Structure 1
């Protein structure tokens, strides 16, 4: 392990469980836009506020947007998340399109994960040189391009007949019986 992790806080991944399976919950709770009304470095943020802020607020009703004008200060965006993280970004001399992209980044992430050394629940003193085992580790690479079912990779006669297959056979027998009755 390198020394750069010594002074970083360590944390486990605090992702909301199954976010997006039933419905998606935006993790961004609040955005504070701090800007100067007259300073040239705040030009891009003022353009974003004039042109796109109302549309952003309309598209994201769960995100509270605060505007905080400050005299002779650099523009700053602060994002606050449901897990308690705060992300602070300096927007000095950024263009309108760059600020739009950064706000989208804040909206789609779940907090400041990059500032923490992520830990795992498992630990070993002797990690594998080959990497972790998966169910596909020792599979034949020909399976990637094979057309299934293929007798080379396993007999399908061992599988029980599906209900659809049984219905198809019954329908064909019934059709044959009806034709025999008509001919007699």
Structure 2
């Protein structure tokens, strides 16, 4: 096992500022599309700029979009988030549809979580002293040593009588009372 995770920063995976609880705030702050106007490897990103960039900007008014043409350089997308993270992604020889999907992924992320060592899988602002809840937290300890099926612990004790059972019992009582009436006459 490697100890390379010791050199990563320690972090939690959590929604910043309770994002999504009251309202949703897009965490993508700025996106920079770097491309070459003539190189063939930039064809997909140029198609995205020509066809989808205006719609992307209209649908995401909180995201600032920069276009940075560079001569004879490979295309790339740099996304900057509210928490200060920057994600750089190469778009060399990617198609228009692939670039559209990757930009949607960058838009919905909250930053670069892969560069952090996760200390816990859960996070809360008000931690419990008792630990996390499980389905077995408030179970009766006698259940550990009981021989099952046991009517004491069975679910049949708590299930109310069905309508069919009630009708059967009423029919049996009516049948018995009809027989008593016949024999009593």
TM-score when scaled to structure 2?
A: 0.66
- Return 5+ residue gaps in structure 2 as ranges: 123-130, 144-154, 161-185
Q: Which residue of 1 aligns with 2:147?
A: none
Residue 151 of structure 1 and its aligned partner are, at CA, apart by 6.8
Give the greater-gyration-radius structure (CA).
Answer: 2
Preserved contact between residue 42 and residue 74 of structure 1 (Cα < 8 Å):
yes
- Whether the aligned pair in 2 keeps the contact of 1:13 and 1:119 (CA below 8 Å) is no
* Matched position secondary structure for 2:18: coil
Query: In the alignment, what sits opposite 1:170?
Result: none
In the aligned structure 1, how far is the partner of 2:92 from the partner of 2:72? 12
Of residues 12-21 and 100-109 in structure 1, the stretch that sits farther from structure 2 once superposed is 12-21
Cα 1:24–1:133 change in 2 (3 A) is closer
Q: How do residues 38-49 of structure 1 correspond to structure 2 at under 5 angstroms? A: 38-49=38-49
Paired residue for 1:11?
11
How do 1:28-67 residues align onto structure 2 when only pairs under 5 Å count? 28-67=28-67
Is 2:152 the counterpart of 1:152? no
Report the Cα distance in structure 1 between the residues aligned to 2:26 and 2:8, rounded to whole angstroms.
Answer: 26
Distance 1:34 1:137 in 2: 54
**Do the aligned partners of 1:91 and 1:99 also contact (CA within 8 Å) in 2?**
yes
Local SS of the residue matching 2:7: coil
CA RMSD across the alignment: 2.6
Equivalences, count:
137
Give TM-score scaled by structure 1 length: 0.66
